[in-house]
Amino acid sequence: MRSFAREWSVKQLIDRCSKRPVEEIAWQEFVRRFHPTIRAAVSSVFVRLTENENGQALEMIDEVVDQLAHDVYGRLIENGAASLRRVRAVGDGSIKKYLLLVSINVVRDHLRHGVKRVEERAKPQSRRLDSAFGLTPTRSTL
Residue-range domain boundaries for the chain: 2-141
**Residue 6 DSSP class:** T
Which residue type, as a one-letter code, is found at position 54?
N
> For the chain, what is the radius of gyration of the CA atoms?
18
Q: What is the mean pLDDT of residues 109-128?
A: 58
- Tens digits of per-residue pLDDT, 37-80? 999 999 999 988 888 777 777 777 888 999 999 999 999 999 88
pLDDT at 90 over 90: no
Q: Is the peptide bond preceding residue 137 cis, with omega within 30 degrees of 0? A: no
**Kind plus residue range of the DSSP H or E element containing 114:** none
What pLDDT does residue 139 have?
44
d(CA 132, CA 85): 43
Q: Higher pLDDT residue, 121 or 71?
A: 71
* 141 within 8 A of 129, measured Cβ to Cβ: no
Name every residue whose Cβ is closer than 8 Å to that of residue 17 and which is 6 or more positions away in sequence.
23, 26, 27, 30, 76, 81, 84
Q: Model's pTM, two decimal places? A: 0.73
Q: What is the mean pLDDT of residues 28-35?
A: 96
